[in-house]
Amino acid sequence: MPLVDLDSIMTTPRIAEIMVVRSAASAPVEFIQAICPHIERERTDLVWGQLQATEDLQLFLYGLSIRSPFENFAWDLVVHKILGFVLLFDWHHESACQEIKDLIDFILHKSAAPIICVADVGNQPILYREEIYRPPIVLSRRCRFTFCQSSQPATIRRAVVALLDMLLNEVG
């Protein structure tokens, strides 16, 4: 008799958890709706959704709105479970650039998980933002940058795929 029942291991669904943090007053509902067919919302600053990615993989996205990483939130309990972070901010909002830089620094020190920093340009053209470069958003193998349009679900999905690619590159 084998010590481990391989059939039960192979049928146990695996769960991947991604946190989507938005530098704004409300949770990133549209972002999570573009990925997950069903979402739950308890408060204006918290939303979560689930996607059955494959037969044995469930993807959970937790959306949180936060102005500062130092707000009252249980980061130490959460960051160790999260496989990756999507940090979403409004490209056209002046203070959002600094808020996102602070959040990137904070998460890089709290977690080893990859980060994709996503600038939402809405339906406006992408304009040069000096705040991004002085001081710069620090990018690395663990932290990448991209743009999306919240009104275009395909651009949101591309941002999440970029994060998943980062996770797969870590493994492979």
Quick: pLDDT tens for 14-30. 888 999 998 777 778 88
How do residues 45-80 score in pLDDT, each as one tens digit?
788 999 888 888 888 999 888 765 666 677 777 778
Q: Which fold has domain 13-171?
A: Rossmann fold (3.40.50)
Q: Give the pair of three-digit tokens for residue 34.
A: 């573009």
Paired tokens of 42: 């308890």
**pLDDT tier for residue 4 given thresholds of 50, 70 and 90:** low
Taking CA atoms, 62 is separated from 29, 38, 79, 86, 91, in Å, by 10, 12, 12, 10, 22
Find, among 94, 132, 87, the residue nearest to 110 by Cα.
Answer: 87
The pLDDT value recorded for residue 97 is: 78
pLDDT at 130: 64
Measure the CA–CA gap between 106 and 12, rounded to whole angstroms.
Answer: 34
Is the Cβ–Cβ distance between 46 and 57 less than 8 Å?
no
Amino acid at 93: H
pTM over 0.85: no
Domain assignments of the chain as residue spans, ordered by start: 13-171
